[in-house]
Amino acid sequence: MNEIARQPKLLKDYAPPPYLIEEVELDFKLAPRAARVASKLRIRPNPKVATGGRPLVLDGEGLALESVALDGKALTPSDYELKEGSLTIPRAPAHPFTLELVTYCDPETNTALSGLYLSRGTYCTQCEPEGFRRITFFLDRPDVLAVYTVRIEAEREVAPILLSNGNPVAHGDIPGTGRHFAVWHDPFPKPSYLFALVGGRLAKVPDRFVTVSGREVDLAIYVEPGKEDRCSWAMESLKRAMRWDEERFGREYDLDVFNIVAVSDFNMGAMENKGLNIFNDKLVLARPDTASDADYASIEGVIAHEYFHNWSGDRVTCRDWFQLCLKEGLTVFRDQEFTGDTRSAPVERIAAVRMLKTHQFPEDAGPLAHAVRPASYIEINNFYTATVYEKGAEVCRMLQTLLGREGFRKGLDLYFERHDGEAVTVEDFVEAMADVSGRDLSQFMLWYTQSGTPELACSLDYDPHAKTARLSVSQVVPPTPGQTKKEPMLIPLKMGLIGANGDELPLKLDGKGVVNDGLLEITGREQVFEFRDIPSPPTPSLLRGFSAPVRLTVSLDPEQIEFLMRHDKDAFNRWQAAQTYATNLLTAASREGGDLSRVTGKEALRLAQALGQTAGDSSLEAAYRAEFLKLPSESDIARELARNVDTDAVRAARESLRRTIAGEIGSSLAELYEAIAPQGPYSPDPESTGVRALRGAALDLLVATGKPSALARAERHYREATNMTDAISALAILSHLDAPARDEALAHFYARWQDEPLVLDKWFAVQARAARSDSVETVRALLSHPKFSLKNPNRVRALIGSFVHGNPTGFNRADGAGFELLAEQAYEIDRFNPHVAARLLGAFESWRILEPVRQGRAKAVLEALARRQLSTDSYEIVTKTLGPS
Ligand code: PHE
Ligand code: ZN
């Protein structure tokens, strides 16, 4: 393995490129085994770098070089150095010049799905972060921005559709050859990672959008022929996103066309290439019978996300890959705001925080912890993480909280205006926010540079004589790999004090007047806030709306938490109180081997009562009520335990609490289930989605009673389902059971959907997630199913990904069989698609929180894997996960 590739790259080593490429003309002749790429580059020395005969080092991987010419003169091999990874011209001119290259690449054997590859016969590209170098030699780094003109030629039979970035300029036949061509021009300078090309036999679903200033834009979604009837939701979502970005952030679209292409083989979710977004088809295709409400929601969210990148990422891009959060954190924040505005703000907030806590908190607490802006990486592909995306979004949200909505909007306007067409840094972004607000945000910068989740400990003391309440706050940022000492951070703490009758008390701070919007700014390690005129002991509601990505501990007794779960006016915190109440019971029971009866009697019943009451409260949104009925997940509980985790005990504790709750409120859940049964045809609108979610959550709990009537209800739910949401939620419920109903439903589902890849993925996933003692064996058997293939990332994620990330008891089985399965499959995948393999291996990140036996097994499996030949991607994950030995 290439040792140089394994040297960490450091942020502090950033140096601007010695040359700039300002114009690019590309000419593609598509062919499966040898696609010809002729490239003409207008290059000039970078005036910001003292040049003078600097070597020009172009990146290139796996390319066959045919010719090089400089200013029209052919170069001979003695004029350049060709190595794997680069093409160097040692004596490049100190004045502007033209470089012409002809190279070939091989789309058909491109199994890494980076660069130019074939997905079910369609030519497509993926260039972020470093795929362009697998297409042609280039300065493949985001701070080199060029204007692209692209000509594509192919057999008309094979590829009647030819697309690239920007606007269409020309197209036509090449008479007598059966070939045709198309020319595209993108007037906006862009880095190479945003380049895209598509060629294939695709069906076009067209639409139109008129922007706020009257610009007419041709929209199109391209899909495999026959799937045109599954595009309307994606198209409607796109138009909603375009309108919303105008209204909320003043961002208008800027080209004549906006194209989306759906492909079946894709490493990630989707890609924001300028004017030509390429999507995993899972995030485009939806029809009521094939896609669930959750699918509809992700499609809407990701379509919006990629569209929003047009400004946050494309018009203003990143200087280097250390700045990845600059576009991803900001764009996730923007898509979350869109979803909150379009659907329900509290439910969206709950979903975002669940996501953060499930994926980012463990990352921040484990061996792969890194800052939102990391200072070093071995393989940048490994840094498309929950920390960069989800915590990155929280950092933007905190800026909005601190500056106010208007202030944040002004800051963002200034950022876009100031840096349009540039490749910039996190400092540039924060500086725009500082400039519009007049605030010093230097302490805030720690959110980008310090890793680890801050721990915020709060306590409230009431003085009945002085009628004051003192809130003591202390913060600790735990040590993380490579960062032992931490500075205190600026933490926006939204809070309220609630009086005995449930009313909000005014927050009068001694000496400082009334606290605006309940927002406190924590800046030191220890701080005390004293509130005056508090008539009786209040209950504090802290970190409202989850105003900062921290772990909060508050000393509250169960009665106070129960009070909050019934009365908090902050919808997020009201939900959080229910979760906290349940988590306290579940962690205690898990420590007792899963035996709930040893830690609680009445608390579990009081929780049941409160949940039942909220679930039945029709003045609340159905989707919100559904969130109440979902108990903390097994991984939530494990994360809170933080050490010595026995996943079987966790599962036993959770099952036993579910049984207790269902036993207590089962009859009201059954009534609710019947009362809200939807009538009429399926619609994916937020209200009907919420009702289905509430019904599904009620059914899920009901089945925990183990009563035959509940099982019969689940069977009926499956049988009578008229849409995928109901079918898959019933199938998931049945999948855990040892009952003929399970096998029958699975067989029925398979028979119906075996030829629909995206639906069949659900069949694989449901079995991989089933909480059963034989799940490792089930997954193993499915690996040899005729419909399983390691080559398709969606199928791999459906079976192996669902198992390792979504089945904690199965994956962490005490005999190590789950670990072995992952190690062996990831190794196989690593040989042809390192990116997908490395992501799967991320499932080992929490091995150190396990009890000693499981820990020992995980360690042994990781050590054995580290001794094998691994890609740079997997090598980085495995060695960092093991940590210093
Ligand atoms: N930039 C893509 C996004 O929107 C993610 C991605 C990264 C896709 C790398 C492909 C490869 O978030
Ligand atoms: Zn993104």
Q: Residue 699 pLDDT more than 80?
A: yes
Rounded distance from Cα 269 to ligand 1 centre (Å): 7
What φ, ψ does residue 619 adopt, rounded to 5°?
A: -80, -10
Rounded distance from Cα 126 to ligand 1 centre (Å): 9
Return d(Cα 249, Cα 237) in angstroms, integer: 17
Rounded distance from Cα 332 to ligand 2 centre (Å): 7
The predicted structure's pLDDT at residue 2? 58
Q: Is the peptide bond before 175 cis (omega within 30 degrees of 0)?
A: no
The predicted structure's pLDDT at residue 157? 97
Least confident range of 262-266, 511-515, 650-654, 825-829 = 511-515
Question: Is residue 713 helix, strand or coil?
Answer: helix
Mutate to test the pocket of ligand 1, among 272, 307, 389 (most ligand atoms within 8 A of CB): 272
And the tokens for 91? Answer: 């004596």
* Closest ligand 1 atom to Cα of 114: 11
- Within 10 A of 7 (CB to CB), how many other CB atoms are there? 10
Q: Which of 492, 247, 522 is nearest to 394 (CA)?
A: 492
Counting Cα atoms < 13 Å in the Cβ hemisphere of 795 gives: 19
Mutate to test the pocket of ligand 1, among 113, 114, 127, 128 (most ligand atoms within 8 A of CB): 128
Confidence of residue 885 (pLDDT cuts 50, 70, 90): low
Across the range 175-203, mean pLDDT stands at 98
* Closest ligand 1 atom to Cα of 332: 12
Mutate to test the pocket of ligand 1, among 125, 260, 271, 303 (most ligand atoms within 8 A of CB): 271
Tell me: the pLDDT tens digits for 795-837? 999 999 999 999 999 999 999 999 999 999 999 999 999 999 9
Q: Residue 320 pLDDT more than 70?
A: yes
Q: Residue 198 pLDDT more than 60?
A: yes
- Within 10 A of 66 (CB to CB), how many other CB atoms are there? 12
Rounded distance from Cα 598 to ligand 1 centre (Å): 48
Return d(Cα 184, Cα 205) in angstroms, integer: 20
Rounded distance from Cα 193 to ligand 1 centre (Å): 10
Rounded distance from Cα 641 to ligand 2 centre (Å): 32
Residue nearest to atom 1 of ligand 1 (CA): 271
Residue nearest to atom 5 of ligand 1 (CA): 271
Q: Residue 538 pLDDT more than 60?
A: yes
Q: Residue 881 pLDDT more than 80?
A: yes
| % of the chain surpassing 70 pLDDT | 99
- Which listed ligand is nearest to 124 at the C-alpha? 1
* Closest ligand 1 atom to Cα of 302: 4
Q: How far apart are the first and last CA of the chain?
A: 22
Return d(Cα 364, Cα 383) in angstroms, integer: 13
> Cβ(642)–Cβ(591) under 8 Å?
no
* Closest ligand 1 atom to Cα of 309: 4
Q: Residue 79 pLDDT more than 90?
A: yes
Residues near ligand 1 (Cβ within 6 A): 126, 128, 267-268, 270-272, 305-306, 309, 328, 384
Whole-prediction pTM: 0.98
Confidence of residue 50 (pLDDT cuts 50, 70, 90): confident
Rounded distance from Cα 5 to ligand 1 centre (Å): 22
Q: Residue 1 pLDDT more than 60?
A: no
- Parallel, antiparallel, or unpaired for β 19-29 and 146-155? parallel
Tell me: the pLDDT tens digits for 661-685? 999 999 999 999 999 999 999 999 9
Residue nearest to atom 9 of ligand 1 (CA): 128
Q: Which of 631, 589, 634 is nearest to 811 (CA)?
A: 634
Q: Which of 759, 878, 858 is nearest to 808 (CA)?
A: 858
Map tokens 């990505």 to a residue: 549
The residues, ordered by sequence, that sit 6+ positions from 9 with a Cβ below 8 Å of its Cβ are: 376, 377, 378, 380
- Which listed ligand is nearest to 328 at the C-alpha? 2
Q: Residue 364 pLDDT more than 90?
A: yes
Q: Residue 4 pLDDT more than 70?
A: no
Tell me: the pLDDT tens digits for 524-536? 999 999 999 999 9
Active-site choice (224, 306, 634, 715): 306
- Which listed ligand is nearest to 381 at the C-alpha? 1
Mutate to test the pocket of ligand 1, among 265, 268, 839 (most ligand atoms within 8 A of CB): 268
The predicted structure's pLDDT at residue 511? 78
The predicted structure's pLDDT at residue 51? 63
The predicted structure's pLDDT at residue 601? 79
Whether 66 is catalytic is: no
Q: How far is CA 541 from the centre of its chain?
A: 29
Residue nearest to atom 11 of ligand 1 (CA): 128
User: How high is the mean pLDDT of the chain?
Assistant: 97
DSSP 815-826: TSHHHHHHHHHH
Confidence of residue 395 (pLDDT cuts 50, 70, 90): very high
Counting Cα atoms < 13 Å in the Cβ hemisphere of 704 gives: 28
Rounded distance from Cα 314 to ligand 1 centre (Å): 12
